[in-house]
Amino acid sequence: MTFDIDTVRAQFPFLAQEINGYPLTYLDSAATSQKPQVVIDTLANYYRFENANVHRGSHHMTAQATSRYEAARDTVAQWIGAAHADTIIWTRGTTEAINLVAYTYALKHLQAGDEIAICENEHHANIVPWQLIAQQTGANIIKIPVTAHGEFDWDYFQNVLTKRCKLVAVAHITNVTGARQPIEAIIHAAHDVGAKVMVDGAQGVVHETVDVTQLDVDFYAFSGHKLYAPNGIGVLYVKPDILPLMPVWQGGGKMVERVSFAGTSFAPAPSCFEAGTPNVAGAIGLAAAMTWLKQFDYQDIKQHIAHLHHTLYEGLVAIDDLYIIGHQPGSGIISFTMDGVHHHDIATLLDQQGIVVREGHHCAHPLMDALDISGTVRLSLSLYNNEADITRALAAIKKAADIL
């Protein structure tokens, strides 16, 4: 399908709204994306005609639901270049996926004196679990600072990386500045000293094609809701040779082979990490979103977002006393501050004009501290944004600047 923005926008019913009498301009896709009609229909049809539990019973409906649920796992594996669908673990999102790694692999294998390297531009979800694990194991957190532009300090990382480091936690693309981290080099360097790498791909999988096999990454996590899919479904990829090293996490139904008071045997991966009734509709919805995306050339999407990003950036730098925090065209993310004006006040005035943005610390307190700011206004673009969105946003920001 040729990428035609009007045709694309027509598939997102959410966008056909007004706020305070203004056309809705949605510029908060880094927080959560809107859903195309095909994903909405997939969810509705599942609950209307196919709702059944999976891997339980022998009736037709559970067999059908199980088939679609596991086919969705196959779709995800193909989407991220995983060689085997069994390396795909369903979670509720990126946060749960990172915690799963922390409380299975890391809790078992880290010891006192080991090191976990984390950059200070990470989302809290890729910091706090490792702090908790460090407290429980005696491991040490090694903070990788950011550069003046909020980017990963590669030189510092190389200088502090030793064989004491057992795990590196890094975002593919950061959620505040949109900085694309050098994950290929980080993975290679970490492996050279025997460390594993946990990549938070929540933003990365949206803006790049991902091949976990080629990356040679140990753990890669992302959330469906940022990729035009439902809330409450996420993915954890685990390298095949690491899966056997991870103990079970939660106990319950579906993750067992046999239970008795004499002892319990567990199902093989990935089932042993998926206790209880799963989010079947979410998994099917994620597969529907990926299938929908396949009709487009990813390069067309990237070029479309890059063009809008450039137009937005050029408009913002022309506004007096406005300062952009980092600039990464490929991510569609721009964060800014305004001299003497609180980010909440700006976002409030934009909302009154129908412009939806994110303001605050963006679950990135350490980065805010490093940059000596309390927060930013973040605008994040997606494939369904158009030129009119940029024009309205820039006019609204200029108006807010004049008022404030």
CATH number at residue 22: 3.90.1150.10
Domain co-membership, 308 together with 369: yes
Q: Which one-letter amino acid corresponds to residue 393?
A: A
User: Would you state the pLDDT for residue 3?
Assistant: 86
Burial class (CB in 10 A: 0-12, 13-18, 19+), 148: exposed
Structure tokens at 295: 């009709």
Residue at which a domain ends, from 253, 278, 293? 293
CA contacts within 13 A on the Cβ side of 38: 14
Confidence (pLDDT) at 1: 58
**Residue 335 maps to a domain:** yes
**104 and 147, same domain (yes or no):** yes
228 and 306 both lie in a single domain: no
Residue 363 annotated among the catalytic residues of the structure? yes
Indicate whether 14 and 142 sit together in one domain.
Answer: no
Same domain, 130 and 69: yes
Inside any domain, residue 102:
yes
Residues 79 and 189 grouped into a single domain? yes
Residue 404's pLDDT is 86
Closest by Cα among 375, 360, 287, 254 to 38: 287
Whether residues 274 and 198 fall in one domain? yes
CATH number at residue 278: 3.40.640.10
Q: Select from 293, 320, 338 the last residue of a domain.
A: 293
Same domain, 279 and 319: no
Q: Within this chain, do residues 132 and 239 fall inside the same structural domain, yes or no?
A: yes
Omega of the bond leading into 13 within 30 degrees of 0 (cis): no
DSSP string across 42-105:
HHHHIIIII---SSS-SSHHHHHHHHHHHHHHHHHHHHTT-S-GGGEEEESSHHHHHHHHIIII
Choosing from 293, 326, 346, the residue where a domain stops is 293
pLDDT per residue rounded down to tens, the chain (404 residues): 578 999 999 999 999 999 999 999 999 999 999 999 999 999 999 999 999 999 887 898 889 999 999 999 999 999 999 999 999 999 999 999 999 999 999 999 999 999 999 999 999 999 999 999 999 999 999 999 999 888 999 999 999 999 999 999 999 999 999 999 999 999 999 999 999 999 999 999 999 999 999 999 999 999 999 999 999 999 999 999 999 999 999 999 889 999 999 999 999 999 999 999 999 999 999 999 999 999 999 899 999 999 999 999 999 999 999 999 977 877 899 999 999 999 999 999 999 999 999 999 999 999 999 999 999 999 999 999 999 999 999 999 999 999 98
384 DSSP 8-state letter: T
- Report yes or no on whether pTM surpasses 0.85: yes
The C-alpha atoms of residue 99 and residue 97 are separated, in whole angstroms, by 5
Instruction: Give me the sign of the Cα torsion angle 40, 220, 177, 127.
Output: positive
Are 127 and 169 within 8 A, CB to CB? yes
Q: Are residues 231 and 310 in the same domain?
A: no
Place of tokens 């693309």: 173
Element (H, E) at 314: helix 298-317
Is residue 342, in this structure, part of any structural domain at all? yes
Look at residue 35 and tell me if it is in a domain: no
Shared domain check, 322 and 174: no
69 and 104 assigned to the same domain: yes
For helices 387-403 and 298-317, give the axis angle rounded to 10 degrees.
20
Q: What's the domain count of the chain?
A: 2
Domain that holds residue 333: 5-30+297-403
Instruction: Assess contact for 34 and 14: CB atoms under 8 A.
Output: yes
Q: Is 36 domain-assigned?
A: no
The verdict on residue 316 lying in a domain is: yes
